[in-house]
Amino acid sequence: MKKKKKIGFIGTGNMAEALIAGLLKAKFIAPEQIMAFDSDARRLRFIQKKYGVKKASDNNHVSSQCNPLVFCVKPQSMKEVVEEIADSLDPSKLLISIAAGVPLYTIETYARKQLRLIRAMPNINVLVQEGACAIAPGNLATEADLKLAKAIFDCVGRSIVIHEPLMDAVTGLSGSGPAYIFLIIEALTDAGVHLGMTRPQALTLVAQTVTGSVKLLSDTGEHPALLREKVTSPGGTTAAGLYKLEEGGLRKILIDAVLAATQRSKELGDKLKQ
């Protein structure tokens, strides 16, 4: 990234901190090229001290000094923040929003002008640089803007580019997805405890099984169904376990969970339009 460029963060919560940490760890940018502001002065001081980034005096300070700007505020705070800095916003700046459920046209409505916008939906796994993120460009965003946004989120995991109407589905799938996986891990751990293992023993085995399975999928590039077949011997233990999972409707339950979370994301987005 060009030395004169500065990335501005409006909001310094967990997601913002994960992005800042990832950018610095990847040496994508230097600490002095990051400026941040948060209404929580204590939180802002913590981020400034821990990462050596520049501390802004207010949101307008960040907006006037930085390009791109990354909005890491709660959805219900977006209107107030955008209206506050609207005078300093124009199509010369790239704005990246990670506010869940806030469509790009809503941000333009708050600003009362067209802007260069990108909407992003990362998940909690960015905290360990293994996040899944989808990014969607607005009408004025360029290929260079997409490239920059993708590079930023690739510092904390993997990202894909999608059309914005799919963002609710992303929220239901990968945004909420870690919770589904954690619940499965809990259940498998409980099974191990039921069979006589200590909870730490069972959790170690389950966590490593999940980690190894994901790495096997990623490294081989094989379809998960093919990998499942390799583990499943005819008449064996895995076949017996899989039969019970299918009998209980696990596949349908997981699909229904994603559909329900997607619908809820749409409902929450609709409330912001009111």
What does the pLDDT look like over 167-191, one tens digit per residue?
Answer: 999 999 999 999 999 999 999 999 9
Q: Model pTM?
A: 0.89
| Fold held by 177-269 | ProC C-terminal domain-like fold (1.10.3730)
Task: For residue 190, give Cα distances in angstroms to 187, 196, 205.
Answer: 5, 10, 12
What digits encode the pLDDT tens for the residues 98-110? 998 899 999 999 9
Amino acid letter at 94? L
- Between CA 250 and CA 212 the distance in angstroms is 21
- 195 CB burial (10 A radius; 0-12, 13-18, 19+): exposed
CATH fold of 7-164, please? Answer: Rossmann fold (3.40.50)
Spatial distance between the Cα atoms of 1 and 91, rounded to a whole number of angstroms: 20
Residue-range domain boundaries for the chain: 7-164, 177-269
Sheet holding 131-137, edge to edge: 54-55, 34-37, 7-10, 69-71, 94-97, 116-122, 131-137, 157-161
Residue 200 CB contacts under 8 Å (≥ 6 apart), including other chains: none
Question: Residue 274: pLDDT band by 50, 70, 90 thresholds?
Answer: low
One-letter identity of residue 181: I
Alpha-carbon torsion, ordered 215, 217, 220, 221, to 10 deg: -130
